[in-house]
Amino acid sequence: MRILILALTFVLTSLVSPSFAEGKKIGVAWGDLAQPRWRWDVTAMRSIIERRGNKYLPFNAAGSAEKQLQDIEQMINDGVDAIVIQAVDKDVIMTSVERAAAAGIPMLAYDRLIEHPGVFYITFDNVGVGRLIAAIVKEQKPTGNYAIIKGDPGDPNSDFLRQGMEEVIGASVAGGQIKIVGEAYADGWSPDSAKAIMEQILAESGNQVDAVLAENDNMAGAAVEALAAAGLSVPIGGQDGDPAALNRVAQGTQTVSVWKNSFDLAKQAGLVAVQLAEGTPMNLIPEARQFSGGEKGVPVWSILLNPTPITAETLDLVIEADHVTKKDVCKNALPTVAACQ
Maximum Cα–Cα distance for the chain, whole Å? Answer: 92
d(CA 220, CA 255): 10
Per-residue pLDDT of the chain (341 residues; tens, 9 = 90+): 333 333 433 333 333 333 334 699 999 999 999 887 788 799 999 999 999 999 999 999 999 999 999 999 999 999 999 999 999 999 999 999 999 999 999 999 999 999 999 999 999 999 999 999 999 999 999 999 999 999 999 888 999 999 999 999 999 999 999 999 999 999 999 999 999 999 999 999 999 999 999 999 999 999 999 999 999 999 999 999 999 999 999 999 999 999 988 889 999 999 999 999 999 999 999 999 999 988 899 999 999 999 999 999 999 999 999 889 999 999 999 999 999 99
Backbone angle region of 183, left / alpha / beta, with phi > 0 → left and psi within -120 to 50 → alpha: beta
What distances in angstroms separate CA 97 from CA 66, 73, 152, 284, one per listed residue? 13, 9, 21, 22
Q: Distance between CA atoms of 74 and 60, rounded to whole angstroms?
A: 12
Distance, in Å, from the CA atom of 158 to the CA atom of 90, rounded to the nearest integer, reads 13
Map out the domains of the chain with their CATH numbers.
21-125+262-306 (3.40.50.2300), 126-259+309-340 (3.40.50.2300)
Task: List the beta strands (DSSP E) in the chain.
Answer: 25-30, 55-60, 82-85, 107-110, 119-124, 144-150, 178-185, 211-214, 236-239, 256-259, 289-291, 300-305, 308-310
